[in-house]
Amino acid sequence: MRRATKVRLYPTVEQERFLRGQFGAVRFVYNKSLEVMSHQYNRHGRKLSAKHDLKKVLPVAKRNPRYAWMKEYDSMALQQACINLDRAFQNFFAGRGRYPRFKSKRRGTQSSYHCTNVEVGDNWVKIPKVGTIKARVHREIFGSLKSITLTLSPTGKYHAVVLVEDGLSEPVKPHIIIEDAVLGIDLGISHLLSDSSGHQEPNPRHLSRSLKNLRRKQQKLSNTEKGSRRRAKARLLVAKAHERVANARADNLHKLSRRMVDENQAVIFEDLNINGMIKNKRLARHIADAGWANLVEMATYKADRSGKHVVKVSRWLPSSKTCSSCNHKVKAMPLEVREWTCPGCGEIHDRDINAALNIKKAGIQHLLAEGLSVTARGDLRKSDSSVAVGETRSLAA
Ligand SMILES: [Zn+2]
């Protein structure tokens, strides 16, 4: 299994200068390649591959005195810029993302990827052409080192994402699943999530507070003059507010996904068309806040590492309109209806918990179709009912 650990770096002033240069070189290769590819495509209808065509140009370009400065930096990092651009184009062609944009020094996180001659120690990482950088390694990193990705956040913090292959295989997922240990999850707006056991998780309040703070700082930024010192300061404050929101959100989602995976054998989600929803502006805001896609991703990652199942059922499932007790289907279920009484059996439903129960049912059908058995509790001998096994410490992804 591959494991990623993110550690904070403390480069010296000199190393920092070099790293900024390296991020710049990576950005330059990315942007130059994007420019060439766009031109070839728009002018001549030629589709170049960043991975195959442009990566090969790099060593040639370095022989040109104009680009000789690139030799100062790790060539793997420059090649990876082409590979990343290639991925961005593939996502675009597959309809998963927008047309690649030029990278800016001022926007987003800067990064560079290193996979040869890298090392990691108790309190340092080693990167080609930079040497040893001081690091705070908060947990033991074991296994064979695959790569180190350096990042610089908009708030000026340096990190290294250390990727290792730990030599362990993924745990086997159970073939016999107890029905009580299957959790259906309905992701929502009034609540972040409602589950089939009746639990509802509110949208975190601290998040909306920090969002308000973020908006205020953004307003301040837009009132400053371009290129001014005040603007640079305001931009840093916005980045810091952003970072706080992102950290609080990620913490919450890590806790929630850890709990649902630890306490169950299978977690069922609806396969949401997040891209389609984001086109709906009002919904988009909520989705971005709630981080649905991140939650599903984190749960899937943790489940694979703890030997648990994650199932995504069809988004066309009429989960809100169907009674989970008698399967009676009502014609319409407007969004504002929070509670309803089933005309078929008289059961009173919370809209979202009922949906979660239907999602659980569909998930069980899916597990059965895969040849697994789902059984009611009590059908098992004690030794088989290992429900909450697995690692309990949280993985910082
Ligand atoms: Zn009913």
- pLDDT tens column, 362-384: 999 999 999 999 998 755 544 44
What's the CA-to-centroid distance between 182 and ligand 1, angstroms? 22
Q: What integer pLDDT is reported at residue 247 of this predicted model?
A: 86
Lowest-confidence range among 203-217, 231-245, 318-332, 372-386?
372-386
pLDDT at 101: 93
State in Å: Cα 183 to ligand 1 middle.
21
Is residue 132 within 8 Å of residue 125, measured between CB atoms? yes
At 273, the pLDDT band (50, 70, 90 cuts) reads low
- Predicted pLDDT of residue 288: 58
In sequence order, the 6+-apart residues with CB closer than 8 A to the CB of 349 are 323, 324, 339, 340, 341, 342
Contact call for residues 306 and 391 (beta carbons, < 8 A): yes
Is the pLDDT confidence value at 388 over 80?
no
For 148-202, write each residue's pLDDT tens digit: 999 999 999 999 999 999 888 889 999 999 999 999 999 887 788 999 999 999 8
pLDDT for 168: 87
- Percent above pLDDT 90 for the chain: 59
Tell me, in angstroms, the distance from the centre of ligand 1 to residue 339's CA: 13
Q: Which of 153-157, 248-252, 263-267, 299-303 has the lowest mean pLDDT?
A: 248-252
Mean local confidence (pLDDT), 8-29: 96
Average pLDDT over residues 145-149: 96
Cβ burial, residue 81 (10 Å; 0-12/13-18/19+) = buried
What pLDDT is stored for residue 54 in this prediction?
80
| Length of the chain in terms of residues written | 397
Distance 346 CA to ligand 1 centre (A): 6
Q: Say if residues 51 and 82 touch (Cβ distance below 8 Å).
A: yes
Sheet strands side by side (includes 110-114): 110-114, 144-152, 158-165, 2-10, 131-136, 124-127, 119-120
What is the residue-averaged pLDDT of the chain?
87
Whole-angstrom Cα distance, residue 224 to residue 231? 5
The predicted pLDDT at position 281 comes to: 61
How many Å lie between the centroid of ligand 1 and the Cα of residue 351? 13
pLDDT, tens digit, 9 for 90 and up, residues 60-108: 888 888 998 999 999 999 999 999 999 998 888 888 778 999 999 888 8
Catalytic residues, by residue number, are 186, 270, 352
Q: In this predicted structure, what is the pLDDT of residue 302?
A: 95
Tokens 């086109």 correspond to: 279
Whether pLDDT at 275 is above 90: no
Give the residue-averaged pLDDT of 307-320. Answer: 91
More confident residue, 292 or 127: 127
Q: Which of 357, 350, 358, 281 is nearest to 318 (CA)?
A: 358
CA of 349 to the centre of ligand 1 (A): 9
pLDDT at residue 209 is higher than 70: yes
The domain limits of the chain are: 2-165, 176-203+259-384
Least confident range of 109-113, 173-177, 213-217: 213-217
* The pLDDT value given to residue 274: 60
Mean pLDDT of 282-297: 72
